[in-house]
């Protein structure tokens, strides 16, 4: 459950998710009532059956004692009756307790996930983002996670034009993912500031900003429901079939969707369990296309795919990136070499910036270390 929270927050879908949860809770409440009714009937039937067996056993024992068979005395009958009464009560209580224990354990697990999840941001009283064009200014931004000894990002300064694609590269722990989380608004700078279209992002209601944002993570998370519901998830009102099919076609997903028995009405299963990794990524791209975002965040969107799936996803990503401000983290040269600018990071610092050709012509870490060792075609 908690793994779905980040993707919901990143797309400003909290209220939509809340409505879905409320609807699900109502269905659970109805189902629970029916289950309790069934449990009550089962308990009553089991109590009747056990007591009928007890009466039959007691009657048989009384007859045996009356005729003096097998050496059974009236005292033995009383003892057996008392034992059977206690056994019946214990079995009935155990049968009634089993479904309660089962539901209780599941509730404990669910509550535990929520309690262990990080606190969500506070947006009340802040300014609406209004219309977003997608220009960013990072002004000496720094960030350190609680209880961490070192800053994950320090003195990070960068201006990003609207519609520009910026690729973040660097070794493990360089701070790339932290920068993406700062862009999405999952975390706030502990030093410096981030300006969105000239406005300090710290003063914005992030829910209104995220309506202009889409995220395609390494492993796309799909929700229980149909392909249509996943692609149009979070959109206001009914999305026309034509728009959904256009998005699926642009994401190279329409072909495999049309081959499915129910087409766009096909249920994908929990977290897209019935689809391959490449198919899930293409549906995530289609969802982003339907939203038509101004800002796009790609976090290792092709790293977990085979070559054939990567080619289809990469082609779809190129369509998605056109005319949008894009922040991309990738380990494949084919993904980053066409970025407008490549930002090289090391230990949380920005060490060099330039195009692929400019950085290769220099003597910095991109040309000497990162490009030949960490990136492949």
163 lies in the same domain as 71: no
**Are 210 and 154 contained in the same domain?**
yes
Sorting pLDDT into bands at 50, 70 and 90, what band is 131?
confident
Same domain, 159 and 28: no
pLDDT at residue number 2: 44
Least confident of 58-62, 149-153, 245-249, 259-263: 58-62
CATH number, domain with residue 246:
3.40.50.300
Q: Report pLDDT digits (tens) over 152-175.
A: 999 999 999 999 999 999 888 899
Strands (E), 317-360: 325-329, 341-346, 349-354
Give the separation between CA 292 and CA 212, rounded to whole angstroms.
Answer: 8
Give me 5's structure tokens.
């929270």
Per-residue pLDDT of 261-273, as tens digits, reads 889 899 888 777 7
CA-CA distance, 212 to 131, in Å (whole number)? 8
Residues 310, 249 share a domain = yes
Classify residue 344: in a domain, yes or no. Answer: yes
pTM equals 0.68
CB atoms within 10 A of CB 124: 5
Same domain, 170 and 301: yes
Within a domain: residue 126? no
Q: Which pair of structure tokens corresponds to residue 218?
A: 């390494």
Cβ-Cβ contacts under 8 Å for 62 (sequence gap 6 or more): 77
Element (H, E) at 298: strand 295-299
Residue 277 lies in a domain: yes
Summarised one tens digit per residue, pLDDT across range 19-55 is 666 777 777 778 777 777 777 777 778 778 877 877 7
Q: How big is the CA angle at 178 (ends 172 and 182), to the nearest 5 degrees?
A: 165
**Count of domains in the chain?**
2
| Residues 183, 78 within the same domain | no
| Residue 44 belongs to some domain of the structure | yes
pLDDT tens-digit map of 308-360: 677 787 888 888 888 899 999 987 777 788 899 999 999 999 999 999 999 99
What residues make up the domain containing 45? 2-116
At a CB cut-off of 8 Å and minimum separation 6, what does 120 contact?
9
- Report, as an integer, the average pLDDT of 246-268: 89
Q: What pLDDT does residue 181 have?
A: 92
Quick check: helix, strand or coil at residue 103?
helix
131 in any annotated domain: no
Kindly state whether residue 348 falls inside one of the protein's structural domains: yes
* 305 and 260 co-located in one domain: yes
Does the residue 108 lie in any domain?
yes
Please count the CA atoms within 13 angstroms of the CA of 185 that sit on its side-chain side.
Answer: 30
107 and 245 belong to one structural domain: no
């Amino acid at each position: 459950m908690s793994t779905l929270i980040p993707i919901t927050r990143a797309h400003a879908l909290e209220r939509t998710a809340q409505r879905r949860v409320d609807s699900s809770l109502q269905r659970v409440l109805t189902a629970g009532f029916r289950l309790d009714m069934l449990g009550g009937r089962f308990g009553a039937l089991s109590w009747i059956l056990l007591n009928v067996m007890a009466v039959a056993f007691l009657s048989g024992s009384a007859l045996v004692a009356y005729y003096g068979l097998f050496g059974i005395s009236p005292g033995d009958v009383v003892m057996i009756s008392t034992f059977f009464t206690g056994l019946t009560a214990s079995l009935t209580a155990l049968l009634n307790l089993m479904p309660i224990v089962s539901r209780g354990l599941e509730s404990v697990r669910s509550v535990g996930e929520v309690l262990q999840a990080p606190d969500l941001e506070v947006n009340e009283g802040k300014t609406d983002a209004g219309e977003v064009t997608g220009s960013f200014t990072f002004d000496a931004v720094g960030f350190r996670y609680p209880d961490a000894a070192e800053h994950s990002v320090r003195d990070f300064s960068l201006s990003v034009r609207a519609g520009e694609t910026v690729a973040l590269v660097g070794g493990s722990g360089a701070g790339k993912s932290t920068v993406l989380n700062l862009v999405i608004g999952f975390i706030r700078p502990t030093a410096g500031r981030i300006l969105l279209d000239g406005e300090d992002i710290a003063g914005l209601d992030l829910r209104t900003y995220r309506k202009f944002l889409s995220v395609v993570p390494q492993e796309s998370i799909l929700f229980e429901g149909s392909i249509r519901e996943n692609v149009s998830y979070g959109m206001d009102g009914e999305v026309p079939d034509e728009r959904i099919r256009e998005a699926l076609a642009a994401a190279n997903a329409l072909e495999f969707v049309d081959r499915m028995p129910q087409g766009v009405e096909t249920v994908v299963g929990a977290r897209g369990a019935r689809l391959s990794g490449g198919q899930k990524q293409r549906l995530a791209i289609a969802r982003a296309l339907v939203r038509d975002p101004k800002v796009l965040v790609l976090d290792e969107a092709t790293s977990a795919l085979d070559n054939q799936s990567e080619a289809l996803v990469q082609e779809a990503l190129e369509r998605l990136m056109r005319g949008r401000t894009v922040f991309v983290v990738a380990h494949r040269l084919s993904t980053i070499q066409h970025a407008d600018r490549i930002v090289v990071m090391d230990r949380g610092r920005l060490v060099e910036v330039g195009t692929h050709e400019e950085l290769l012509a220099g003597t910095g870490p991109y040309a000497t270390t990162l490009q030949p060792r960490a990136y492949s075609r």
